[in-house]
């Protein structure tokens, strides 16, 4: 078995944890934006783990996906890999897990089909943003799909902080599931969530606040992902207004569009904690151990 991917800390740790050799991947990008990922080693007749992450703040999920698709096809068709397990810690387009308006694509399902067609025999991802289908495996016809929890790693990291009487808060209706999952790993039953409505045409967000007595308590606002930071900032601001002593912004996927971090800190967050599912220099919690355990279990 071999691990193929960029020679970064994430993949170095993953290769060490699995006890396999890391074959580096050169991620060349031409001036016009075209990508040309190059595998720098022999993978013929090997079971390959392909591990690639998207960059935070780049706004380039499409470039990332082309790199993944080209590398999958290359490993399968030209480099002779026997099998390919794709480690895609953040699964783009998962939010479009239903057709919300006539004429829209079912993007998450289409992406699953593209990854299978390109050569993925198994796909491992972390806390995939799916609410309207039964599970991650429904995106695929043939490939084995595993959705690893990123909240276990996130909770373990936040447990290191000396929080006082902690309360877990989800910033919107859908995040109640994430708040419950985080609370489970953290070891508390004190959690709740606000309600949010988003205009499907404009993207405008409105947060509906239920009054919660947070006086003197430390609050962890948790979500699966943060893109613009608007929803997270609203929740942080309201938690402070309700008397929270300290507010921690915690999320699995640091997509982080430009100014997202400033928006969250400007709302009053005392710290930001995220995992390393996406390449971001501020990531503090690592999902490498959870992914390695999943691969060993497979």
What are the catalytic residues? Answer: 196
For the chain, the residue count is 298
Sequence-ordered list of residues with C-beta below 8 angstroms from that of 143, at least 6 positions apart, any chain:
112, 115, 116, 120, 121, 122, 123
Number of H helices, E strands in the chain: 8, 14
The secondary structure of residue 279, as a DSSP letter, is B
Sequence-ordered list of residues with C-beta below 8 angstroms from that of 16, at least 6 positions apart, any chain:
none
Q: What are the angstrom distances between the C-alpha of 32 and each of 28, 35, 271? A: 12, 9, 38
Sequence-ordered list of residues with C-beta below 8 angstroms from that of 257, at least 6 positions apart, any chain:
57, 59, 227, 228, 229
The structure tokens listed for 294 are 């999943």
Nearest one of 193, 177, 274 to 239, comparing CA atoms = 193
Sequence-ordered list of residues with C-beta below 8 angstroms from that of 171, at least 6 positions apart, any chain:
193, 194, 196, 207, 221, 223, 231, 232, 234, 235
């Amino acid at each position: 078995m071999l691990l193929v991917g960029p020679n970064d800390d994430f993949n170095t740790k993953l290769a060490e944890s699995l006890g396999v050799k890391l074959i580096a991947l050169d991620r060349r990008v031409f001036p016009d934006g075209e990508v040309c990922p190059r595998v720098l080693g022999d993978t013929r007749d090997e079971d390959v783990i392909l591990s690639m992450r998207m960059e935070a703040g780049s706004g380039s999920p499409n470039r990332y996906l082309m790199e993944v698709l080209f590398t999958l096809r290359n490993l399968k068709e030209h480099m002779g890999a026997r099998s390919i397990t794709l480690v895609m810690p953040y699964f783009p387009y998962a939010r479009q897990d239903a057709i919300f308006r006539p004429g829209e694509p079912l993007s998450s399902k289409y992406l699953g089909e593209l990854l299978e067609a390109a050569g993925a025999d198994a796909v491992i991802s972390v806390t995939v943003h799916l609410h309207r289908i039964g599970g991650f495996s429904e995106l695929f016809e043939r490939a084995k799909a595993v959705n690893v929890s990123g909240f276990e790693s996130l909770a373990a990291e936040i447990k290191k902080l000396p929080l006082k009487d902690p309360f877990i808060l989800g910033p919107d209706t859908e995040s109640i599931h994430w708040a419950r999952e985080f609370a489970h790993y953290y070891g508390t039953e004190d959690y709740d969530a606000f309600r949010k409505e988003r205009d499907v045409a404009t993207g405008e967000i409105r947060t509906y606040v239920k009054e919660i007595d947070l006086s003197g308590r430390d609050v962890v606002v948790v979500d699966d992902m943060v893109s613009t930071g608007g929803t997270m900032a609203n929740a942080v601001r309201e938690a402070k207004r309700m008397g929270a002593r300290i507010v921690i912004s915690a999320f699995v996927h640091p997509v982080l569009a430009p100014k997202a971090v400033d928006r969250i800190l400007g709302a009053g967050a005392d710290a930001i904690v995220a995992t390393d599912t996406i390449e971001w220099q501020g990531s503090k919690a690592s999902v490498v151990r959870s992914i390695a355990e999943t691969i060993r279990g497979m």
